[in-house]
């Protein structure tokens, strides 16, 4: 019991810090709302799907960034999609980088694009780690906990 | 939010869950991003919708095409690899007339605007929130409501709901307002009309609150008075208040007049009456305007607003086929106005339209002489109730206006021009050909010029050529992409070949006048045309007993054009020859125009599954004759067009056309018979298509009846038409 409570508390704390540190936003809450008994691992599933699918997008962007001259339209288009999915899971920082990236694309600032892209990748990786840890703990704590959300 | 009302098939009604709308609303979600799609899927399910997902736009289209009736709403991403989201949006709108919501990670103004102009009912920004999705059902309801159904008004702030609908809704509302406002012939009326527009909008949007005034049924007489008043005042000065005064009708309010006025906007008329199938805008039964591709989306958007009747499927796509501005020659000798002003691809530039004496085309529309279209939509044809529809049209018009193309004062087409970029319609020749091929008994058929774009324009601009689209019926039927270069030829009473003399569309003598500028005589036609043209064509459509039309008819229904006014129109038309080609409705020369109008109504009615057309038809039966003729020919077209609704699906259309052929045949039968039997035709305003057909057949036998100008039909319940 205590152990469980302990877990729950930890999970809650971890979750809260994700929010507080701006890694995730209210969209994440939306996902959590969709999670229920019939869909107990929804959030994790979505996030997993996101990371899997976005990986190839990142590769595409990287490839596009390697080209010379840069095709900003294509970059923008790729990033558009990336931004869409990132924002859908509530990846706040990642989304912010995507937005920045888009600005640079519009300004046709290749240097800016690359910098932003690197930054974005960092955030992306960090978030992934954090979420993985979170989900793991949540699983340990029990499904009910995972579904709980902060007020 | 369970709207108990069974929205006329909104939910298909087959399943019990449907009764609990929006629970169980069938949504098709399209997004190539798996993450987003999964989330969307779950969000929608959370809202208790019935969700189908696909990550390919192509697949989505396929599903929609195959199971048209199985979806209530489509939500689609904008950026997709296999097909542009906007393209999908257009196609869906054209073919299925299902509301489409766009989704995108970007919410740039330009993108959103593009979505709206392409017909999206809403534009959501990713990430999508469940609150937004909870309200999307309103789009379905709204669309259904436009149809003349007595649905419960989901006044639950559909309009106001915005969580999601901000963009779309705002846009649509705004557009509606614009349309309504702009549609007004005169900008000066804009303000005046604003209120009405609001009402229109309200009505259109089914806000229960807007249903405050009793709907005025614009009977033939009433419409005649209206038209007369407008004529007397002159288009420029025909403000609702003055019209009301002149009309001196007890119990009629300024608002009634105002909305009728709006409706009567040529374009509205056009729009109202017509329904579009794919790129074809069926104005009336005989008028088919082929909308250019570019225009199409916008037009569709407008059309949808304007006339629900046309149903989800057959939005009147004004097939303004050609991009060739030259098409805007409605008033040209062919009876087309001269829209030289048309600029751009098939666009009817507003300016060009405006070149038409405001009083002329548009004004004329209302007036008998006016463009048939005008009359169609507003005059009598459209019942106030339809104002929604009309409003829709008005909206459309207004919108057109806002597009810069439409001059409020310009004739019907004024509004159209800008938006009418019937770029899509490539096969204009087809349309033309279609028209030609129809051996309408009464060549009321409008001359279907190659460029349909003009037809629309022409229709508006020109005289009563109620959108030369008349031939459009044929045209449409023939080709999806027929560019309605249908020239609305003057509706000669005499059975001129489908071409110019086409039925009623443009009474040469009159039409030209009317189109151009509305000489008084046009007023005759125009009024008639106004009324009828659209209705008639629709009738034709309806005629095809085959179910094909039903779909379209359903559309037509929406466009409950106040066919009732046809009577008024017909009256007007009377002066001219009755012989005016049946072509739908384009307002055949005086008499013919009336007939056309009536036929239009009929056609229209036919189109509308609602069959209100019949009501319409009834209005001015005498016009029917000619109109009928054309109509019958048109009907086939229409039938085809109906099937061809999906312009995008040319193959489909072909198939449909073939199916239509059968319809056509039947309609052809009608056609021949029709000429006179408009009366019958219009008799039953809301008959199902089959009945219409029967009516049409019967009509054939009633040759003379039509001409006498007494429609003999009950006022066409325009509401139904639209």
Distance CA B689, CA B356 (A): 37
Nearest CB neighbour to A81, from listed B33, B46, B129: B33
pLDDT (tens digit, 9 = 90+) per residue, B306-355? Answer: 555 444 444 444 444 434 444 334 333 443 333 343 333 334 333 333 33
- Best mutation target, B29, B34, B36, B110, to test chain A (most A CBs within 10 A): B36
Which of B278, B254, B112 minimizes the C-alpha distance to B642? B278
Largest Cα–Cα distance in chain B? 67
Q: What percent of chain B has pLDDT over 70?
A: 23
Torsion, Cα B204 B208 B209 B211, to 10 degrees, reads 70
Residues of A in contact with B109 (CB under 8 A): none
Q: A–B: how many Cβ contacts below 8 A? A: 68
Q: For residue A31, what is the nearest residue in chain B, using CA coordinates? A: B39
Nearest CB neighbour to A87, from listed B32, B79, B127: B127
Interchain CB distance below 8 Å, B105 and A49: no
Burial class (CB in 10 A: 0-12, 13-18, 19+), A20: exposed
pLDDT (tens digit, 9 = 90+) per residue, B76-116? Answer: 988 888 888 888 888 888 887 788 999 888 878 888 898 88
Which of B27, B96, B104 minimizes the C-alpha distance to B61? B96
Lateral strand order in the sheet of B50-54: B50-54, B26-30, B73-77, B100-104, B122-125
Task: Quote the mean pLDDT of chain B.
Answer: 51
pTM equals: 0.41
pLDDT (tens digit, 9 = 90+) per residue, B465-489? Answer: 433 333 334 433 344 443 433 333 3
Distance CA A93, CA A95 (A): 5
Structural domains in chain B plus CATH codes: 26-144 (3.40.50.2300), 220-283 (1.10.10.60)
Q: What angle do CA B511, B574, B552 make, to 5 degrees?
A: 70
Element (H, E) at B342: none
B97: left (phi over 0), alpha (psi -120 to 50) or beta: left
Rounded to 5 degrees, φ, ψ at B447 are: -75, 120
pLDDT (tens digit, 9 = 90+) per residue, A118-148? Answer: 999 999 999 999 999 999 988 887 755 444 4
pLDDT (tens digit, 9 = 90+) per residue, A107-124? Answer: 998 899 999 999 999 999
Element (H, E) at A18: helix A2-20
User: In this complex, is the C-beta atom of B107 within 8 Å of any C-beta atom belonging to chain A?
Assistant: no
Interchain CB distance below 8 Å, B127 and A45: no
Q: What is the DSSP letter of B155?
A: T
User: In this complex, is the C-beta atom of B58 within 8 Å of any C-beta atom belonging to chain A?
Assistant: no
Query: Chain B: nearest CA to A84, how far in angstroms?
Result: 5
Q: What is the DSSP letter of B403?
A: T
Is the pLDDT at B421 greater than 80? The verdict is: no
Is the pLDDT at A77 greater than 60? The verdict is: yes
* Mean pLDDT of the region B210-230: 67
Residues of A in contact with B128 (CB under 8 A): 88
Query: Chain A: nearest CA to B88, how far in angstroms?
Result: 18
Interchain CB distance below 8 Å, B42 and A80: no
Torsion, Cα B657 B663 B665 B670, to 10 degrees, reads -140
Interchain CB distance below 8 Å, A84 and B130: no
Q: Which B residues in the span 126-165 are in contact with A, Cβ-Cβ below 8 Å? A: 126-130
> What is the per-residue DSSP string for B77-90?
ES--SSS-HHHHHH
In terms of average pLDDT, the best of B31-35, B511-515, B556-560, B593-597 is B31-35
Interchain CB distance below 8 Å, A50 and B35: yes
Which of B196, B559, B530 minimizes the C-alpha distance to B392? B559
pLDDT of residue B29: 93
* ipTM score: 0.90
pLDDT of residue A43: 92
- The token pair that represents B527 in the structure block: 């009024």
What is A3-33+40-137's CATH topology? 1.20.120
pLDDT (tens digit, 9 = 90+) per residue, B361-385? Answer: 333 434 443 333 343 333 333 333 3
pLDDT (tens digit, 9 = 90+) per residue, A18-59? Answer: 999 999 999 999 899 888 888 888 999 999 999 999 999 999
Taking the CA atoms of A92, A98, A104 and A109 in sequence, report the sign of the dihedral they define. positive
């Amino acid at each position: 019991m205590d152990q469980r409570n302990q877990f729950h508390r930890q999970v809650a704390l971890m979750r809260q810090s994700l929010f507080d540190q701006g890694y995730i936003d209210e969209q994440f809450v939306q996902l959590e709302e969709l999670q229920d008994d019939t869909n107990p691992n929804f959030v994790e599933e979505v996030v997993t799907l996101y990371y899997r699918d976005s990986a190839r997008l990142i590769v595409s962007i990287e490839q596009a960034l390697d080209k010379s001259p840069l095709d900003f339209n294509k970059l923008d288009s790729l990033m558009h999609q990336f931004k869409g999915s990132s924002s859908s899971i509530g990846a706040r920082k990642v989304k912010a980088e995507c937005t920045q990236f888009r600005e640079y694309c519009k300004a046709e600032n290749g240097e800016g694009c690359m910098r932003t892209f690197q930054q974005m990748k960092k955030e992306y990786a960090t978030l992934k780690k954090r979420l993985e840890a979170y989900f793991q703990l949540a699983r340990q704590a029990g499904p009910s906990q995972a579904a709980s959300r902060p007020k | 939010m369970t709207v108990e009302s069974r929205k006329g098939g909104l939910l298909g009604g087959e399943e019990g869950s449907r009764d609990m709308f929006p629970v169980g609303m069938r949504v098709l979600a399209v997004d190539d991003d798996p993450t987003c799609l999964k989330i969307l899927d779950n969000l929608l399910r959370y809202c208790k919708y019935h969700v189908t997902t696909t990550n390919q736009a192509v697949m989505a289209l396929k599903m929609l095409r195959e199971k048209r009736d199985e979806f209530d709403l489509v939500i689609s991403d904008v950026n997709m690899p296999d097909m542009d989201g906007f393209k999908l949006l257009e196609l869906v709108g054209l073919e299925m007339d299902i509301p489409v919501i766009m989704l995108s990670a970007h919410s740039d103004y330009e993108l959103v605007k593009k979505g709206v102009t392409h017909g999206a009912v809403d534009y959501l920004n990713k990430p999508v929130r469940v609150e937004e999705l909870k309200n999307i059902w309103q789009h379905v309801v709204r669309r259904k409501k436009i149809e003349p159904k007595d649905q419960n008004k989901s006044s639950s702030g559909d309009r106001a709901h915005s969580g999601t609908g901000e963009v779309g809704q705002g846009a649509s509302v705004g557009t509606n307002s614009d349309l309504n406002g702009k549609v007004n012939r005169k900008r000066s009326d804009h303000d005046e009309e604003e209120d009405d527009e609001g009402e229109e909008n309200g009505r259109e949007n089914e806000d229960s609150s807007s249903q405050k005034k009793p709907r005025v049924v614009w009977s033939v007489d009433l419409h005649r008075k209206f038209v007369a008043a407008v004529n007397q005042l002159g288009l420029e000065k025909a403000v609702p208040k003055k019209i009301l005064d002149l009309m001196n009708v007890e119990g009629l309010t300024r608002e009634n007049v105002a909305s009728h006025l709006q409706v009567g906007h040529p374009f509205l008329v056009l729009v109202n009456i017509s329904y579009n199938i794919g790129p074809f805008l069926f104005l009336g039964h005989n008028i088919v305007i082929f909308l250019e591709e570019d225009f199409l989306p916008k037009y569709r958007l407008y059309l949808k607003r304007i006339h629900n009747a046309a149903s989800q499927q057959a939005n009147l796509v004004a097939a303004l086929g050609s991009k060739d501005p030259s098409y805007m020659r409605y008033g040209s000798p062919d009876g087309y106005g001269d829209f030289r002003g048309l600029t751009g691809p098939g666009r009817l530039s507003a300016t060009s339209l405006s070149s038409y004496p405001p009083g002329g085309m548009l004004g004329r529309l209302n007036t008998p002489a006016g463009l048939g279209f005008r009359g169609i939509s507003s005059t009598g044809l459209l019942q106030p109730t339809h104002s929604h529809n009309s409003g829709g049209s008005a909206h459309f018009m207004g919108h057109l206006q806002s597009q810069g193309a439409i001059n409020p004062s310009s004739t019907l087409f004024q509004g159209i021009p800008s938006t009418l970029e019937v770029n899509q319609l490539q096969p204009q020749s087809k349309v033309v050909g279609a028209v030609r091929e129809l051996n309408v008994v009464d060549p009321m058929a409008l001359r279907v010029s190659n460029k349909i774009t003009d037809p629309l324009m022409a229709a508006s601009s020109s005289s009563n050529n109620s959108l030369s689209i008349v031939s459009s019926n044929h045209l449409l039927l023939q080709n999806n992409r027929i560019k309605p270069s249908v020239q609305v030829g003057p509706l000669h009473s005499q059975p001129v070949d489908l071409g110019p003399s086409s039925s009623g569309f443009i009474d040469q003598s009159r039409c030209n006048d009317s189109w151009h500028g509305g000489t008084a005589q046009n007023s005759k036609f125009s009024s008639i045309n106004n009324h009828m043209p659209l209705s008639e064509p629709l009738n034709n459509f309806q005629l095809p007993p085959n179910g094909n039309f039903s779909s379209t008819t359903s559309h037509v229904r929406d466009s409950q054009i106040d066919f009732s006014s046809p009577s008024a129109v017909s009256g007007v038309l009377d002066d001219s020859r009755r012989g005016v080609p049946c072509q739908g409705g384009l307002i055949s020369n005086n008499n013919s125009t009336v007939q056309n109008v009536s036929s239009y109504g009929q056609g229209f009615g036919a189109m509308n599954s609602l069959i209100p057309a019949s009501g319409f038809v009834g209005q001015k039966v005498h016009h029917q004759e000619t109109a009928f003729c054309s109509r019958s020919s048109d009907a086939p077209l229409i039938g085809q067009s109906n099937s061809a609704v999906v312009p995008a699906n040319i193959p489909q259309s072909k198939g449909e056309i073939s199916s239509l052929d059968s319809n056509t045949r039947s309609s052809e039968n009608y056609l021949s018979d029709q000429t006179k039997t408009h009366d019958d035709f219009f008799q039953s305003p809301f008959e199902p298509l089959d009945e219409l057909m029967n009516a049409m057949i019967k009509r054939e036998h009633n040759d003379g009846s039509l001409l006498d100008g007494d429609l003999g039909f009950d006022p066409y319940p325009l509401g139904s038409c639209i």
